Amino acid sequence: MKDKSLVRRITGHRLFMPLVCLAIVLLANLLRQPDFFKITVKDGTLYGYVIDVINRGSELVILAVGMTLVVSSSAGTDISVGAIMAVAAAICCFILSGGQVSVNEYANPYVLGVVIALVLGAICGAWNGFLVAKLRIQPMVATLILFTAGRGIAQLITNGQITYIRVPEYKVLGGSISGLPLPVPFFVSLAVVILAYILLKRTSLGLYIEAVGINPKASRLVGIKSSLIIFLTYAFCGLCAGIAGLVASSRIYSADANNVGLNMELDAILAVALGGNSLGGGKFFLMGSVIGAYTIQALTTTLYAMGVSADQIPVYKAIVVVIIVSLQSEELRKWFKKKFATKKVVESEVA
């Protein structure tokens, strides 16, 4: 009996499913390419597929943190994060280049560009939050506005060109510093996760968000300002998208309005779903989303390593999404339970 309960406790743990998914992806890699886990050291920095996953997954982790809160509080998803990334990258590069197409030194202080980009990201998020929380528009439709217009705005900022910032320091945020064992984006994502964790767990904010997600009306009646909480989660999600946009832009030391954060919204939603969070809102598990994000990045890296082209990757991801959300579906569970229950009855009758 005790044994069973231990197994139950492990399988019932909220991080069990996300970790299993990650393990499956990694195991598949281990069987296919044994050198997947090989890590080499160059200039005190680690290199290898696994490090690459950790590195490339950083933006996704940052987005997933914001997306988790949005999903939890409003039972909806923010599909504009990819476009907000592009906007943030565009404004940062625009300020740093002073409107030039390609510059070799900053036209304005670096901090100014970063701060304005983050503020703009938060403003974009706040606009979404205003539509969802105040005007009560379905989250998906409200964020659809920026999803469409975002890249257009980014194009407008960069004047339709790709703005290059050819300054070595600009690449630091998305690159690596010699002496640091892991790339910088990892530390950025770590900082975001820790900050969010402290904000949510050390204050009652996390509890409020869950309460609003489970029942906004009841939360309002017990004195939580539901609309303010929802608004804040969207603004925070926009801020996260802004940070992710800066990292992505730093990687390519430019602002490419068409390609920064392309298709990232699906990955972020997928990360949240993979992390064991219900897309119907309510309780959330931040760590689950983080693991989900790395799982997806591992999947992407694996597909690239297998020689699947970037255009075709969405097919596999879409299949994974459908499987995951189907498994989460209450209806399917009920159906399985029914099947299982009748089987049990039949068995007991036979006995």
Partner 1 sequence: MNKKKGRKSILEGTGFLLMITIALFIVMYVIGCLLFADKGFAKPQVFINLLISNAGLIVIAAGMTVIMITGGIDISVGSVVAVVCMMLAWMMERKDVGAIPATLIVLGFGLVFGLFQGFLVSYLKIQPFIVTLAGMFFARGLTAMISQDMISIKNEMFLSWAKYKIVIPLFGRVNRRGEVMYPYIYPSVVIAFLVLVIIFLMLKYTKFGRSLYAVGGNEQSALMMGLNVRRTKLYAYVLNGLLASLGGFLFCLNTCAGFVEQAKGLEMDAISSAVIGGTLLTGGVGNVFGSLFGVLIKGTIETFITFQGTLSSWWVRIAIAALLAFFIILQSIFASLKEKRK
List the one residue from 34, 35, 168, 311 that touches partner 1 (CB under 8 A): 311
Nearer Cβ to partner 1, position 77 or 250? 77
Q: Does 313 contact partner 1 by CB under 8 A?
A: yes
What residues numbered 79-138 form the site for partner 1, per CB under 8 A?
Answer: 79, 131, 135-138
Q: How far is the CB of 80 from partner 1 (least distance, A)?
A: 10
Q: What are phi and psi of 102, to 5 degrees?
A: -145, 130
What are 328's two structure tokens?
A: 């989460």
Nearer Cβ to partner 1, position 5 or 326? 326
- Least Cα distance to 188 among 237, 233, 240, 234 occurs for 240
What residues numbered 134-173 form the site for partner 1, per CB under 8 A?
Answer: 135-138, 140-142, 144-149, 151-153, 155-156, 160
Which residues does residue 102 pair with via DSSP β-bridges, in sequence order? 164
Q: How far is the CB of 233 from partner 1 (least distance, A)?
A: 18
Q: How far is the CB of 341 from partner 1 (least distance, A)?
A: 19
Tell me how far apart the alpha carbons of residues 111 and 120 are, in angstroms, rounded to a whole number: 14
Q: What are phi and psi of 57, to 5 degrees?
A: -75, -5
What residues numbered 229-288 form the site for partner 1, per CB under 8 A?
Answer: 263, 266, 269, 273, 279-280
The torsion defined by the Cα of 145, 123, 248 and 22, in degrees rounded to 10, comes to -80
List the one residue from 207, 318, 341, 346 that touches partner 1 (CB under 8 A): 318
CA 343 to chain CA mean position, Å: 41
Q: How far is the CB of 35 from partner 1 (least distance, A)?
A: 28
Nearer Cβ to partner 1, position 250 or 289? 289
Q: How far is the CB of 214 from partner 1 (least distance, A)?
A: 17
Distances (CA, A) of 117 to 121, 136, 236, 249, 310: 6, 27, 14, 11, 28
Q: How far is the CB of 259 from partner 1 (least distance, A)?
A: 12
Q: Does 326 contact partner 1 by CB under 8 A?
A: yes
Tell me how far apart the alpha carbons of residues 284 and 339 are, in angstroms, rounded to a whole number: 30
What residues numbered 291-310 form the site for partner 1, per CB under 8 A?
Answer: 309
Cβ atoms 117, 246 nearer than 8 A:
yes
**Residue 171 has what DSSP assignment?**
G
Q: How far is the CB of 268 from partner 1 (least distance, A)?
A: 11
Nearer Cβ to partner 1, position 192 or 230? 230
Contacts (Cβ under 8 Å, ≥6 apart) of 252:
174, 260
Cα radius of gyration (the chain): 22
Nearer Cβ to partner 1, position 145 or 167? 145
Nearer Cβ to partner 1, position 187 or 316? 316
Q: Does 228 contact partner 1 by CB under 8 A?
A: no
Q: How far is the CB of 132 from partner 1 (least distance, A)?
A: 11
CA 180 to chain CA mean position, Å: 24
Cβ atoms 81, 67 nearer than 8 A:
yes
Q: Read off the amino acid at residue 20.
A: V
Which residues does residue 41 pair with via DSSP β-bridges, in sequence order? 46
**Binding-site ranges for partner 1 (CB under 8 A):** 77, 79, 131, 135-138, 140-142, 144-149, 151-153, 155-156, 160, 263, 266, 269, 273, 279-280, 309, 311-319, 321-322, 325-326, 328-332
